[in-house]
Structures are given as C-alpha cells and as structure tokens.
Structure 1
Amino acid sequence: MKKTLAGFLLSSALAIGCTPKHASFVKVDDVALGRVVVYRNGVAYYERRTTVTGGILTVSVPRDRVDDFLKSLTVVDAISKQPLPVSIPRQQANDGAYLVMNLQLPSKAKADVVLTYVTESPAWKPSYRVVVGTNGKVMLEGWAIVDNTSGEDWKGVLVGVGSSSALSFKYDLWSVRQVQREQLQTEERFAIAPPSGISPYGGPTGGEPNGEAAIAELDDGEIRRPVGHPDDQTAKRVAVKDVKESEDKPSAPNKAGRADVEADYGETTTISRGGGSRNRPAKASKPAPRTATASPAPPPRQDPRVQTGDAKMRELSKQLTGSNKNIVIEGYADSNRGGDGQRRATDRANIIRNQLIDAGVAPNRIKVIAKVEPNAQERVRLVQTAAGPEDQRPAAARTADLTAAPVGESHFASPTPMTVERGASAMVSMVRKETEGEVVYLYDAESVRGNQNFAFRAVRFRNPTTSTLETGPVTVYGDERFIGEGLTEPIPPKASAVVPYALDRQIVVERTDGDETKLSRLVTLQRGILTAEVQHIKRKKLQITNRMNAKAKVFVRHTIPKGWTLINQPSEFERIGDAHLFYAELGPHEVKNIEIAESTPMERTLDLNADVTLDMMKVYVEAPEGNKELKDSLKKLLSVHRRLTDLATEQDSLRRRLHDYKERMDELHAQILTLQAVKTGNDLMGHLKTKMKDISSRVQKTTISIVDQEEKIMLSRVEFKDMLAELTLNDVTAPPTGATGAVSKTSK
C-alpha cells in the first residue's frame, strides 16, 4: 500500500485529456520554451532564450493575444542584461490568424536574447494530501494541476505555479488611436439645461436600477412595542393601579369603619373594625357561586394591526438579511399633534431598527432618520438606499472589506524540466514535508454544510512553507487507509488550518441561545419616560459531551457579525480568517459548557413605571460609572418600588387566602343546609356551625388586612409617582449650555 501511494504521489506528470481553449500560441522562430509559470488570475508567464543573427527576430502572435503580448513583452540581452529596443512593422493584412512581428534589434551582430511575455492561460488547481501520524506530526503533500491548452508542446520546460494579489486585465495596445480635437465655434448657448437632482442618500433616482427605493411602510398601530415601552400594554406595573385590581378588591369599610362579609349559615355574623357593627340576618337560600378573587387577569387584547406589522417585519427580515444594501428607517411624526414629535419619530424608527438587528441584519447597515412635519402620518418608512460607487462596480472588482484577510503570495516550481504535450495536464509538486498536526474536532454550525448537533472530525496542521496554500480539496489518510476528505480555505505561510473530513458523532453539542438587554447610558428622563442607550446582548451556550473513551480537542467556530462586539468567551482561542476558533479539551465521557456573548448598542424608550425597566435600573445603579446624584435618586426610587413589590406580593397572598376561606364557607353552608333535613344531626350541626364561626372570623381579619394593605399600597404609589415626577435628566447628547448638573428637581 505504501509503495503504491508513494508511486502515485511522486509522479511528476499526468497525461489527462483536455480540450484546449486556444489552438494557437506565440511562435518565435521555432525557439522552444524554457520556462512556464501559470498563475491563478488567468495568465501564464513564458520565457524563451535564443541566439539572434542578422538583427531580426520573427515572432508570430495570435491576434487574440496581441494586446497581452505587447503589454508584457520584454527583450533583454542575456549577457549585458540591458533591454533591447524593438520596432514592429504594421504593413500587413488584418484578417489573418496571426500577426507577424519582426523584432528589429539595434545591431545585426550575433546576440543572445531572453524574451519574456504574459498571455492568457487557464488557472492551475491545487489539491492536498495529509497523512496523519503520531506525536503531533502529519505528512503534508500539495500538488498543482496545470492544463496545457496553448496548442504548443512544452518539451523540457521548467514548469511552475504561482498566485498573488496581482491584478490582471486586457488593454488594447495594437489599435492606432487618433485624437479627435474639438471644433471651436463662435456661437453662444443661451439656454442651458440644469443638472439632474440628487437624492439625500447620494444615489440615483428611485426609478433607476440600484437606486433609492421604498421597500416597506408601517403605521403606528402596526409597530409592536418592546417590553418596558410606555405603550406596551403587557408590561407589569406594580406602581400603577390596574383596572382589574379595582374590580377584585374586597368591600371597603363603611363610614363607621366596618367591612361586611356575607356568611350564609343560618346565624348572624358581625364583622367590626374600629367602632360600630352591622348585623345581617341569616339566609337559608343556596349561596351564589363566588368568583375567584385571585384569578389572573386576562391578557390585554392585541390590536390586529400589530399582527399585520409582525408579518411585514418577518418578510422584511428575510429579504434584508441576505442583502448587502443599506437601509434608512424614516420615522415620521405630526408636528400639529403636540408633544415631542422628534422623540416619537426617533422612537418608532429605533424600534424597527432593533427588530431588524434581532433578525440578523448588520447594525452598521441601518441608519435612522426622524422627520417631523405638519399633518404627517405617524408611521415608519423603510428605504433601501442607492448603491454607492463601490457597490455599483462588479462584485469581483469591489474593494475588499477592511477586516478581510490579507491576500498571500505563493510560488512553486518543478526542480527538473518536464514535458507536457499539448492538450494534456500535468501535476506539479508544491510541497512534501512533515509538519505539526493532529486530529481534532471542529464544531461548525455556521457554514452552509455545517451541523448543529455534532462536531466534525478534523485535521489541524501547520503550513510549513513560505507561500500561501490556496483553496483546494484535502484527502486525509491514516493507518494506511483513506479516512476522509475536506476542503481548505487559503492557508497563509506558517499559519494553521483546521479541515473537517468526517462526521463520527462522537462529540455531541447541545446549543441554547438567549438574549438580554442592559442599560449602558441614560440619555433623557422626563416624567417617568426614559430614553436610554442599551446593550443588546446575545448569548450562545454550548454543552459539549465527549462520548469516547479517549481525550478530545474541540474547536468551536464563531463568526462575529459586523456591528457586534465580543464581550464574553472562552479564554483560549485563535483567529482563522474572519472567525474565532474557541478551544476546549475534554476527557473521556466529560461534559463541558462554553458560553459566547456579543453585544451591540441600541436606543430604547422605557417606562420607569414598568417593573422590567426598574429591574434594569437595579443593575445600572450598581455600576461604577454614571452620575452619582442621579444614582442616589434612582436608589430611593428603587427602594420605594421594592416596598411596593413586597406589599403587592403580600396583598396577593391575602386575596388567595380570602378566596380559600370563602370557598370553605360555601362548602360548610351547603353541608348545614343538608343536615337541617336530618333530625339526628344536631351534634354534627353544632360542630359545623362552630367551624363556620371560625372561618367567618378569619374572613373578617383577612378582609381588614387587605384593606390596610390597599391603603399602604396607595400611599406608596403616590410617593413613587411624586419621586418619579421630580426626577429629570438633561439630554446628554445635546451640546453643553452651561448647566452644571445632570439631575434637577422640578418645582411643585
């Protein structure tokens, strides 16, 4: 097996039938080629050496290669290394397959000449073999497949391959160019058309391809408010009295300080508080069923327009996530409506922006604009902006992103001359060397062919050369057998790569995604409405399980989207391209947890009455940065809110207890009515009536406690609202006006 494999890998040329793209080549007085270097950008470098006598060198160039030939031709004296001037006659027919050039040297003396030029050629293709060894070593072999479609046999030629960041293009150098000069006239132009108008976003008009175009519009009723927003009807607000709460509370004491509780068990029940009492005659009728006072309030009715808006946003998110266009979100507000129209317009636009970011649209592609106009409809309009000059260019010609990996250079050459016949292909050895490497596992859930549940078995190896190894297939061998194959991305010199080649399901990954929002900066605060910059955080938790009886090294691939910042990650990682590879080592049957968190800034409008907002404020006041005076005021506000929360919790407990007591009273009343028809049930009747009195007493005490609790809650709510009304924060984004403090107290 080893001999067969070695014989295959060491073969320097492989004749593979291929159809030549060009059946013509540059002919130089029957001078054979000396060296050919094929590049990845669609050209090849040719070098010929010859001895010229008579001062003329005849070159026949195919017409489709004349421009490349003239653009790259060099003629150098082999001894002096000085360039030799040449002249090219133009008197010949334009319909021939070849253009004959007589390169006239300055002297008719015998001269050794080196002729080099570059013409079109198919790109070479790399492929690799990795033989997994022991002790952290692997054998790396690389081969370049070169296709000779030139129509010329390469006999005894030094063949090489290369790649670089060099640009390649066609340019007309053969055609004669006549300069057309302008004809001046004495006439004057009195009527001149104005230039075309431009859009605010610097692109062509909406009717032009790739121009500005409105892609969606949502009115105010279609926008779903986030949790904690002043218009969010689902948020819990313990500091605000609820309508359902008013309906469920027990009867308040009368003028004499009494609260009545009906006890239908055939006797008079007195419930007193303070002074005075009220007696109610017993009823023999069946009690009416009671409504549970502790039943949860029904959820607020959703405006059907919100569901329509949600559907629009889902479709928009699908459309924009896969696009590279920029989005402008225009928030509109009616200036005649009163209030802060700028805040309303900005708030609506920011809500839509945040929803798009949550759906995966890059934050740096979104721009927010507020427009306050008379009689404007309260709405949001999404505009896909015109492509800039860079985006209007062909995709292959666009400037690479600033974060893109550098383009490496490579050059590999056969050490001995080789023969490649026309229409054949050759395999040129690029590298055969032992290098650092090992078998690892790679969890990649991001790639198109990735896997969400299992890590791939992979080989990690180091590029031992000083050249970049280009993208190509990798065949992996181990224990004298084939164990898999993969595809590598470009590997810079001396850099490492991780190439997955098998999926054995030995490393199981359970993934849990979550998100949260933390306050990072308060912008404005007026009458309990807070505008703040928040950090929207996405957390990815991975539970990695090793099913094997051996240790395993696992790499987790994670790419940070543009506009997001990594804030929490495993301590050991490395960068490969635009991705992070986080490292974890697991023992046999070991389970490890990894958490990766990233954040992006958002602007939100929050209601300080909402419990969720106050929960965020608790974290904010404990942070070291921020205005001390503001934090002291917020701490007092939070203290009152904690008291309100405790009172509300205790009140709910009392109401549930009262509900249980009343249900028990109904049961006892029904039992007493049943025993009235039995003559021998006097003892049991007395026992039940005693229980009824006890339960009635408990109902009385619980009702009084609920009323007392309601009074405490009412006082705390008044205190909370008073403190909230006095709490003010100037706009921190506004230019300074000489104010010395960020917090001020409004006069009552």
Structure 2
Amino acid sequence: MPTRLRMRAPAALLLASVLTSACAADPAPTRDLALRRVVLYQNGIGYFERSGALRNDRLKLRLRSHEIDDVLKTLVVIESGASTNTATKPSTVTVLLPSSAPRPAEGEEPEPTWLNVVLSPRPTRELSIAYAVPTAAWKAAYRVVLPDRDKGDKTAAASKAALLQAWALIDNVSDEDWVGIHLTLASGAPMSFETDLRSPRFIKRPGASYDFGETAPTGPVYAERIAIADQDADGIGDANDACPTERGALNPDPSKNGCPQLARVLLSSSDIRILSLIQFDKDSSQIKPASFILLDEVAHVLRENPRIRALTVEGHASSGEKDPWGLSSRRASEVKKQLLQRGVTTEIKTSGAGETKPIANNATEEGRIKNRRVEFHVEHAQPESDRNVPAGRATASALSQTAPAQTAIRDLAGSVRYDITHPVTIPKSSTTLVTIINEYIPGEEIFLFRPDTNMPGSDRHPMRAARIENKSGFGLQAGPVAVFGGGTFVGEGVLGKLNPGDTAMIPYGIDSSTSVEVAAKEISKPVRLISLARGQMTVEDSRILTTTYSIAAGLQAPARIFLRHIRGAAFTATDLPPGTETTQGAYLVPIPIQEKRSSTLSIEERRPERHVLDILVTDGERLAAYLHNSRLHPDVEKPIREVVDLRNQIGRITRNISAIRTQLNDLGQQSSELRDNIQAIEKTPRAGALQQRLLDRLGATTKQMDDLMAKLSTATVDLAESRARLVESLRDLRIDEVPESEDEKTGKNGAGKAAP
C-alpha cells in the first residue's frame, strides 16, 4: 500500500502531495463537480474551474496523459467555509498519480488516465477546484466597414468612422461538453512550460571524504529571457476627410478677377461647385480684398442650404513658395475664418495640399497665380430617406445591429480579458463564434502604394486599404479582416497585433485605374571646407537623393494616398508633408488626391560625405565651390583664396599647354604630308608651280610650329613657377576643422516638396 503524505492547508491550496500509485476503480465524482468557468489564452493554455458537492471522499479526474503534469502544477482546491481559524478545518488533500502509461505510437491518441484527489475527511460543503491544461488557442477574426459614400447610411458615427467588429473562434477539443459555462478569452500569453513532475528525479551530489557541513549543493541557474517586441507605434492621428467633389475653373485675368458677375457658386441637387479664384500673393495667406465678394456668395449659399453638413476648405501653393505645406494650410484656415465671420454655421474642416495638385503650369507666372488657390469640397447633411436604401445592404449602421458585442472587456495583469456576458454552451469537438467587439473607431478608406511581391501590379498601382486607429484602449490580436464598403464585401486583409493607439493600414485589393510612377536621381553637391593640412583639403559633400512620385488618380479614388517611401541608408529627410507616419525603415507619406486628377510629390533626402582632396591635382573650380559655401574668417580665407587662385592659374596653364600640344601635333602631321607631296613631284618638270606652292606652305607651317614651341616653352616655365609657388604656399598653411554654420546645417536636411 503506498505511503501517503498528509498536511493541513488553508482554504486555497496547491498540490498537497504527489504519490505514484495504481488507481482502483472508483465512481466518478466529477459528475458532482460541474464545469463552471473556462479561461482560454492565446498560447494554448486553458484554465478550468469546477464546483459542486462530493458524495464521498474522493474526486476522480479523467485526464489525458499530457495534461497530468500541468494539473499537478496548477491544481487549486477550495472548501467553502473551511479555514484554519474556524472550527471547520479544511480537509487534508492527497493526490494519487496513476502508474506511468506507455507512450502512444505516432498518430495515435493517448488513452485517458485517472487522477485521484482524496480529501480526508470528506468535505460536507461545496468544493471548488481549478487547474490549467493545454487546449486549443482561441483565434480572432475581424470585419471593418468603411465609411459609406452612399448617403443611405445615415448613422452619424458611420459617416465619420469605420465600424470594427471582432469575433473569437473557440474550439472545444476536450472530451466533455461545455454546458452553460462562464467563458473568458485572454489576449495575453502567460509563461507556461512543459515540466515532467511524475518521473522520479535523483540529484547527483558532489563527493566528499572529510567535510560533512550542512551546505547544500546548488543546481544550475537558468537565465530569464525577456523578448521585447519592437512596436513601433507610432500615435499621430488624422481627421476624416469629406468625399472629394469637382473643382471649379480659375480665371487669373486681373481685369476680370473680383468682378461680382464672375464669382459663380453653382448649387445642384447632388453637389456644390464653386468656380472662381480666391486670390493670394506669393508666400502670403492673406486674402486679397477683391475676393471678399466671392466669399460673401459662398457664405450666402452655405447659410441658405442647411443640408450641407460639412465643408472642407483645401489650400494649395505654387512652386517656389516657402513652406508650401504650412502655407497651403494657413490659406485654408484664413478662408475658414472669413466664412465663420460671415455667419456660416456649417462644420468647416481645413487641409493643405502643398504644391502637389497644380492645375496650371508652374513654369509660368500665370500658371503659378492659378495654383495659389483654395478649393471647396462639400457633403450633404440631409441623407436620403430610408426607403431609398436597398434592402440587405451591408452598411455600418445595419451591421452594427446584427452582431452586438457579448463581452465585458477589462485589463488584467497586462493582458486584455473578454468576459462573455452570458453562459456559453459548446459541445465537445466543435467550434463556436462569439462577438467580442462591435464599435466605431477612427477609420477611412485610403490608397496605399507599397510594392509587394505577393501582389502583382503593386509596383505600378496602389492598393486599396482600410486605415484604422485603435482607440479602444485594448490591444487587438492578429487575425484575418473582412472589409466592407459601399454596402458590400470588397476584399480581405490580414491584421497584425495592434496595440492601443496604434494605426494599421489593411490592404484588401489593388486599384488598376490609378497609377503611380516613381523616378529617382542621385547627385553630389559641394557643401563646405572642413580642414586643410599638408596640401590636402578635407571637404564635405551632400549626397542628394530625390525621389519623385507621380500619381494619376482614377475613378472612385479616396481622399488620400499613402506612399511607403523606403529611407535611404544614412539619409535624412525633413519638411515632409503633414501627417507623415514613420515606420521602421520607411516613411508613410500622405498625399491628398482627387479622382481623374494628377498629383506629384518629390522627396529629397541628404547624406553628408567627407572626402580628402589633393590640392596639387584637384581642379581649382571644384576647390572654389567648397570655399564659396564656407564661412571663414577673413584672415583664414585670404591665404586659401590665394591657393585656390594659384590652382586655377595652374589649371589654365595646363589647359593652354594641352591646346598647344594639340596644335603642334596637327601641324606636324600637315608638315609630314607636305614633305611627302613635295618629294613625290620633285622630278616632274610640269609641277614646278605646284611644288613652289607646297614649299611656301611648308615654310609657313614650320614657322607656326616654331612660334608654338616658343609658347610651349614659356608656358612650361610658367607652370613650373606656379607649381613651385603653390607648393611653397601650402608648406605652412594649416586650418583646423571649421565649425559648421546654421545655414550649412539646414542645407544638409532634405525636403519633401511637390514638383510642377
């Protein structure tokens, strides 16, 4: 008979004793302890709670062989009302382990085993036990319903945000039905390990012949590894834009601008078109007084048409203006200010497009005047009646009512827990779906240009994507995403883990009607002189990488396209468009677009590079370029200027010598040809006159060669003297590192700017 270890324990206790034994055939008291609660984790661990009344002193648990060790580690036994401080003492708990069973063959299911929990004396009150065992991890699946352009979806939230719905797929792979249980789904993955607790373990002790002290031997110490995910969250948000509408033509003729009869505001049943020019001077956001009449008309239309619920004023800049992104935004803000002062109560948003959307040629002043403008994009406040909405359309408002969330969400121990709010029944060997999220979050439809080898054509066309921002306050787990738009299914994407505050762009299809062309060029530009010593000049160049994106938007284009621009190694870009998001190794650059319109953006990145130039062999003009860009003290600049002038002089002499030698070579060939011709006709009596002409030409050529030889001799002497003077000037010339000026620092930074 096996020896049993008994011990008194408080109300909640872990394993009281572990003892290997052959189990006798006992009735199954687990029928008395019904399954009450299940907590499922995403690392394949499940936590199970049971409670009920025992009919004898033995609880018999039917387990699979691979579950035994996990039960031994996590088993908790609680007797209701029992305490070491009361008259009702808790029972002594003894756990009897089954004999080790042979391992099943590969592909075979292990035979179930029985674990006996003996309580002495038998509890007379309700008993609860809890333990953790391996089980199937729950999975997440999502649905994103994009803001509907169709005004049939009249839900205010749906018009400004995306509907996010999430389901949990739960697999009951156990041998029992889960009936009326309280189910919790945890997003975290608590640390859990496979541990062999059943097999006897003997610890080898060190040998000792004389020291019988009480110090126990130490075992191995294992390192604790903490893996930190590189989450790069970004945290920058962007308001939802209205659907784009057609823009009016502009008239830059000074004789006609500002005339009341030409300030046209056209209102139709479907949209508003404002066809005129709001005038701005170069680099200015102040509206010219001549445009106030147009603003009066715009304000009148907005006041008289309350169905217009939102107006977006989009500012634009021309090429050559300073800070085009900020300037275009300020122009839009100034127009908004003027409209509000005229009593407009419509919601007005502002945005700036920089110089990315020219409507005229920026190479001419007339075209630049046209491009310094604002545009008005509107949407209607009064939606169509419900009878005009086709039955069964999958709009956000409709779908939000079909799948109400069945969970209470809380944060516990660093993980999100979804507590299902009603009892759940899941038959064994079956799967069920539970709605865990059903709420509106910031979201919009966008284009995402990100060439991907898994998406053919993505190197020329952008992908349609759902851009969502996790404002739920809880992390979203990875899973597939079904995307709906316009009342129907439009595609499917994959969502990675999304932390609170993170933004995700979920591609779900490619748009072949919109094209993106990418052109890149790289040049090197002299920046400054750094130092000079022993005839060598250390200089700094700026390696400039310019990438130009040309976007031709097709039909049904969203309000924005995000360009995934890979950052060049060690390059830096600044002055990027507002709202640019940074990811690891790339920028996500937003550009406002309109259907059937073209936009262009140039991103300039710079990288400093140092070089050492040998002054004796480097072209003087190149040396002068570094000197021109450096701010030097006059006492320092003067000797360097003299050296550069000498190097330019050497360059001129060298080029002159090269030209003389070329002429000498040509004249030498002519002289050789003349001698050959004279020799050929010298015995011909009738060629006397011709021979004389050839002799005269040979004499002239010889004289030219003599003159050039004299010039060559002089130039050679001059070159030697100039070289000697240069060497002498460099002998003691030394300049320590020159500090970088603020202008030079600014010049290193790249810029993101639009091209005409």
TM-score category (smaller protein): 0.5 to 0.7
Listed as ranges, the gaps of 5+ residues in structure 2 are: 1-27, 102-110, 150-158, 212-221, 235-412, 739-756
| 1:112 to partner: Cα distance | 5.2
> Which residue number corresponds to residue 719 of structure 1?
725
> Which residue number corresponds to residue 109 of structure 1?
124
Contact 1:567 1:598 in 2 (8 A): yes
1:139 aligns with 2:163: yes
Contact 1:144 1:430 in 2 (8 A): yes
Contact 1:607 1:613 in 2 (8 A): no
Contact 2:619 2:647 in 1 (8 A): no
Q: What is the one-letter code of the residue matched to 2:492? A: E
Change over 3 Å in CA distance of 1:511–1:155 after alignment to 2: farther
Change over 3 Å in CA distance of 1:437–1:399 after alignment to 2: closer
Matches of 2:634 and 2:121, distance apart in 1:
87
The secondary structure found in structure 2 opposite 1:430 is strand
Contact 1:75 1:84 in 2 (8 A): no
Larger RCO of the pair (alpha carbons < 8 Å, separation 6+): 1
Matches of 2:490 and 2:551, distance apart in 1:
23
> Which residue number corresponds to residue 226 of structure 1?
none
Residue by residue over 1:440-482, the C-alpha shift from the partner in whole angstroms, topping out at 9 and shown as x without a partner, is 2222247776844443222212224222222222222322343
Q: What is the one-letter code of the residue matched to 1:510? A: V
Correspondence for 1:556 among 554, 563, 577: 563
Contact 1:85 1:106 in 2 (8 A): yes
Correspondence for 1:640 among 630, 637, 646: 646
1:183 aligns with 2:192: no
Correspondence for 2:448 among 422, 442, 445: 442
> Which residue number corresponds to residue 176 of structure 2?
152
Correspondence for 2:43 among 38, 41, 44: 41
| 1:727 to partner: Cα distance | 4.4
Matches of 1:104 and 1:540, distance apart in 2:
78
> Which residue number corresponds to residue 543 of structure 1?
549
1:570 aligns with 2:566: no
1:458 aligns with 2:458: no
Correspondence for 2:99 among 82, 93, 96: 93
Correspondence for 1:128 among 142, 146, 161: 142
| 1:181 to partner: Cα distance | 3.3
Change over 3 Å in CA distance of 1:517–1:660 after alignment to 2: same
The secondary structure found in structure 1 opposite 2:136 is coil
| 1:662 to partner: Cα distance | 7.6
Contact 1:148 1:425 in 2 (8 A): yes
Q: For residues 87-486 of structure 1, what are the structure 2 equivalents within 5 Å?
A: 87-90=93-96, 92-95=98-101, 97-102=112-117, 104=119, 108-111=123-126, 113=128, 115-132=129-146, 133-134=148-149, 135-164=159-188, 166-185=190-209, 399-400=227-228, 409-445=415-451, 451-486=458-493
Q: How many residues align?
A: 494
Q: What is the one-letter code of the residue matched to 1:508? A: V
Contact 2:461 2:510 in 1 (8 A): yes
The secondary structure found in structure 1 opposite 2:143 is strand
Change over 3 Å in CA distance of 1:122–1:649 after alignment to 2: farther
| 1:32 to partner: Cα distance | 3.5
Change over 3 Å in CA distance of 1:102–1:168 after alignment to 2: closer
Change over 3 Å in CA distance of 1:97–1:154 after alignment to 2: closer
Q: What RMSD over aligned residues (CA atoms) do the two structures have, in Å?
A: 5.2
Matches of 1:68 and 1:635, distance apart in 2:
83
1:583 aligns with 2:597: no
Q: What is the one-letter code of the residue matched to 2:446? A: V
Q: What is the one-letter code of the residue matched to 2:517? A: V
Residue by residue over 1:140-164, the C-alpha shift from the partner in whole angstroms, topping out at 9 and shown as x without a partner, is 2222322222232222234443322
Matches of 1:661 and 1:178, distance apart in 2:
104
| 1:653 to partner: Cα distance | 5.7
Change over 3 Å in CA distance of 1:616–1:673 after alignment to 2: same
Matches of 1:464 and 1:478, distance apart in 2:
21
| 1:98 to partner: Cα distance | 2.0
Matches of 1:414 and 1:465, distance apart in 2:
17
Matches of 2:506 and 2:574, distance apart in 1:
26
Residue by residue over 1:355-388, the C-alpha shift from the partner in whole angstroms, topping out at 9 and shown as x without a partner, is xxxxxxxxxxxxxxxxxxxxxxxxxxxxxxxxxx
Matches of 1:535 and 1:120, distance apart in 2:
61
| 1:575 to partner: Cα distance | 3.1
Contact 1:140 1:432 in 2 (8 A): yes
Matches of 1:645 and 1:47, distance apart in 2:
92
Listed as ranges, the gaps of 5+ residues in structure 1 are: 1-25, 188-388, 733-748
| 1:184 to partner: Cα distance | 0.7
Calculate the TM-score normalised by the size of structure 1: 0.53
Q: What is the one-letter code of the residue matched to 2:115? A: V
Matches of 1:613 and 1:45, distance apart in 2:
80
Deviation larger for 140-149 or 605-614: 605-614
1:510 aligns with 2:515: no
The secondary structure found in structure 1 opposite 2:726 is helix
Change over 3 Å in CA distance of 1:90–1:47 after alignment to 2: closer
Matches of 1:627 and 1:122, distance apart in 2:
75
| 1:547 to partner: Cα distance | 4.1
The secondary structure found in structure 2 opposite 1:145 is strand
Q: What is the one-letter code of the residue matched to 1:465? A: S
The secondary structure found in structure 1 opposite 2:94 is coil
Matches of 2:121 and 2:543, distance apart in 1:
74
Matches of 2:685 and 2:30, distance apart in 1:
130
Matches of 1:458 and 1:577, distance apart in 2:
20
Calculate the TM-score normalised by the size of structure 2: 0.53
